[in-house]
Chains A and B, each alone.
Chain A
Amino acid sequence: MTAIETSTTPRKTAPAVLRAGAVVGLLVAVMSIGAAVAVAFDIGPAHSARAAARARTTGDVVVGVVMALLEAGLLAFGAFLVQRRDGRARSALMYGASLTIGSSLFWLLVQQKLSTLLWAIGFAVPALAVLVAVFVAPATRWFGAEYTAPSPRVSRLRLWWNALPRAQQWLWSLIAVAIAVVLPFIGTGVPLLGLINSEPGFDFPIALFDASYYALIALGLNVVIGQAGLLDLGYVGFFAIGAYVVALLTSSDSSIRAFSHTPWAWIICVPVAMAITMLSGLVLGAPTLRLRGDYLAIVTLGFGEIVRLLADNLPGLRGNVGFQNLAQPPGHHSDGTAIFSQTDGKPWYWLTIGLIIVVLLLVGNLERSRVGRAWVAIREDEDAAEIMGVPTFKFKLWAFVIGAAIGGLSGTLFAGQIGFVNNQKFDPATSILFVAAVVLGGAGNKVGVMLGAFLVSFIPYRFNSIYNEKGLIFGIALIALMLFRTQGLLGARQRLLTYGRSAYHRITGGPEALDTGKGAFATDVTKSSIGEA
């Protein structure tokens, strides 16, 4: 084995702790394969738990088998790489162990039985040992510096994407949109793909609509958090204002309903709601945007609560009773039933996809302009930005106002689809969930935050049994992410120049050499630690 020395960095033998980790990992891998087989064929120790568990779909079982095989594969591969003294061993073991712990937790929550607890501990404890081994091992010395380098797989994907001609990027985007559009038609019966379907637990098109308006929210919040670096914990306030505008202007319970007689009521409400949320963004931002970091977060949290408490206590806003019979967009099927209804999520989902595309284009325009650069400059170093001629206050306010408008837009969609608005959906926990979607997916990355939003909103619907524990699960996921991958699932990387493509081509003769960013939060941390040093 000593013959496989690489020429660049002389490497020592694997530390004992890492070898032990590899052995335990191999053990867990074998156990996982056993468990996968047991789940698949309904035998063994898993059987009793299964029999006693609530009814589960074949989808759950397939997911279980896939997860078990994946973690087994990763752990076994990691153990193999430790023998080869390959730098990727660390990541393989780390991901395998994390997945094992995650899936143990997942099954525990799905089944909620004592037998599952023992079974989950059996997996999670050795996996935790592997994780500890991986972190204790002096890996830099052993593997060389490259294990800290960004995952080459991600970089290659990015390079591939950046090198594509514009037309091809559009084509791929079009394919992605097409897939999103046909998604509601994938029934539970479709082999493999059908696994994504949330039925019978939850109506699939409506679950997709929920995910899509979450994606819209995440895009809006991403302008504030991801681009301008302003931690806004009260974003739900704008969402609520958007919803309440529709309610007040169109509900049969409202005394000031202005447009309830025209079929265009909902559509008229959208610009009105956006204008009002923009105004409220201005009202919140103007006095508070002089605050920074944690202080701003506290004030915005207060704003979200103020909006909710107003909804609770103002008689005109009807608190818990709420508003019924909200307007919906016009249009009828040939049989006379309305296209946009509470029961059919598909038209709402498609409408939201359309709006997401429009918002993506507009926000993209902003990103590749003086505005986007000002935002990132503010996020990176506000004082330096100001001294370099960036009117920081003005652009922070713009970020707030634009974010608010998108939040309001999302609120109108939510209110229209549900057809009912009361004070129950706008609590701080929801606000934190919005932030979680942005951070999970990768603050500053538009595709990333939409992915984050999809995960945060859709997973509880798909795995109905964990719906009530979603806060716990996403909390753990966030902690894990902040430990292992600060930049979120997809790292931030804005393109900030309209003519960047040609410019970088003139400089490097190829596409821009990009690496994954550390993201909005990591930068902040590094900066302050250097500043105090």
Chain B
Amino acid sequence: MTSSASEADGQLLPADVPLDEVSDEQIVAAVGEHREASVATGESLLVLDAVTLRFGGLTALDDVSFDVRRGEILGLIGPNGAGKTTCFNVMTGVYRPTSGKVVFDGRVIKRQAKHTITRMGIARTFQNIRLFGEMTALENVVVGTDARHHTSVPGALGRTRRHFHEERSAVDRAMALLRFVGIADRSAEKARNLPYGYQRRLEIARALATEPKLLCLDEPAAGFNPAEKDELVELIKQIRGEGYTVLLIEHDMRLVMGVCDRIVVLEFGHKIAEGSPEEIRNDKAVVAAYLGGEEDDDGAA
């Protein structure tokens, strides 16, 4: 925010300084650039209001209501097939709810194009990694930053000032994000050649690059070993610390309990519980759903 001269042409990181010599403060500053940081925490950012989604005879989501509050990490858990990812898809506009509504930041998510919803401030990662394999890690993240850009064919052909400004800030921000998620050392490599853990983190960096208000992570720890999971918890906490709201789908209970402020539990398309990790841990319906418990199959009804 201090050097207005370099900011004018979109530069966020010092030019010609190797990426690993840039200070952490500068990285964090570049990551947070432009974003409405330090939003009022606590108020609802995303509200699911009695959302029902049917595919023919199958009810994937049945009257699900919960809200995601600004600045929190909300966990969305449930057994396989509970409707967690479907829930994500309703929020990001992939599916349209049969009834009920999704309100994000005061606006109802209805018939907007998916890329418009992204621009409203919802970003997500994918359960099965979906990077642009032939692009380098850096280019992948820059595609994310493009969500906020306006240069189209005329601007790119004519190389307008806006084009150069956007390109410079995009590259700097992308490099900062790659450092932020801890994969900067291989950012010049093609995404498909990166190791699995790097690909997962690259997805997070790409999603963050769209400058979301709400970051949805779909099983980010799948396939991670315990040490990697601990690192991921740190990263998620750090992301929240930067003012992002996080919605987390995860199977690993230890991870969910360790990182989430609140947890929503789904089973067979119903919400069966909502509350703090402590409350969820002691909730009978949840224990039954996960462990089979004494009540056996009753939880489903």
Contact = CB atoms under 8 A, between A and B. Distances in A.
A382 B239 CA distance: 27
Nearest to A492: B134
A522 to B, nearest CB: 9
Given A370-B156, A389-B144, A398-B152, A499 B132 contact: no
A506 B115 contact: no
Interface in B175-212: 175, 184, 187-190, 193, 206-207, 210
B153 interface: yes
Nearest to A392: B115
Contacts of B143: 373-374, 377, 385, 388, 390
Contacts of B170: 497
Contacts of B207: 388
A506 B171 CA distance: 11
Given A365-B159, A371-B153, A499-B171, A513 B189 contact: yes
A380 B133 contact: yes
A387 B146 contact: no
Residue picked from B92, B135, B144, most chain A C-beta under 10 Å:
B135
A508 B148 CA distance: 27
B134 A380 contact: yes
Nearest to A380: B132
A384 B193 contact: no
Interface string A488-508: 000010001111101110111
B19 A371 contact: no
A388 B130 CA distance: 11
A523 B189 contact: no
Give the interface residue-count category, chain B. 35 or more
A506 B175 contact: yes
A517 interface: yes
A512 interface: yes
Contacts of A373: 135, 139, 142-143, 146
A114 to B, nearest CB: 49
A366 B114 contact: no
Contact of B171 (A497, A508, A512): A497
Interface string B130-174: 111111101100111011110111011101000110111011000
B135 A390 contact: no
A317 to B, nearest CB: 31
A502 B168 CA distance: 10
Contact of B130 (A384, A507, A513, A523): A384
Name the residue among A386, A392, A512, A515 with the largest chain B CB count within 10 angstroms. A386
Nearest to A373: B143
Contacts of A492: 134
Contacts of A386: 113-115
Interface string B24-47: 000000000000000000000000
A509 interface: yes
A384 B207 CA distance: 11
Interface in B253-294: none
B152 A389 contact: no
Contacts of A508: 188
A192 interface: no
A51 interface: no
B152 A370 contact: yes
B171 A362 contact: no
Given A374-B146, A377-B143, A384-B130, A389 B210 contact: yes
A141 B257 CA distance: 46
Interface residues of A, number: 49
A497 B139 contact: yes
Contacts of B168: 498-499
A371 B166 CA distance: 12
B301 interface: no
B118 A388 contact: yes
B70 interface: no
Given A369-B163, A371-B152, A492-B134, A388 B147 contact: yes
Interface string A332-355: 000000000000000000000000
A402 interface: yes
A504 B139 CA distance: 11
A497 B138 contact: yes
Nearest to A493: B134
A373 B171 CA distance: 13
Given A381-B132, A523-B133, A512 B188 contact: yes
The CB with the most chain B CB atoms within 10 A, among A380, A394, A513, is that of A380
B8 interface: no
A362 B156 CA distance: 9
Contacts of B188: 504, 507-508, 512-513
A380 B166 CA distance: 23
Contacts of A469: none
B17 interface: yes
Interface of B: 15-19, 92, 94, 113-115, 118-119, 123-124, 126, 128, 130-136, 138-139, 142-144, 146-149, 151-153, 155-157, 159, 163-164, 166-168, 170-171, 175, 184, 187-190, 193, 206-207, 210
Given A370-B151, A492-B134, 17 more contacts: A365-B159, A366-B156, A370-B146, A373-B139, A374-B146, A376-B134, A384-B132, A388-B115, A388-B143, A388-B210, A389-B148, A389-B210, A497-B167, A497-B171, A504-B188, A506-B18, A507-B138
29 contacts: A366-B156, A370-B152, A370-B163, A371-B153, A373-B142, A373-B143, A377-B132, A381-B132, A384-B131, A384-B132, A388-B144, A389-B118, A389-B119, A389-B146, A390-B143, A391-B113, A394-B152, A497-B142, A497-B167, A502-B171, A506-B18, A507-B19, A507-B138, A507-B188, A508-B188, A509-B18, A512-B188, A523-B133, A526-B133
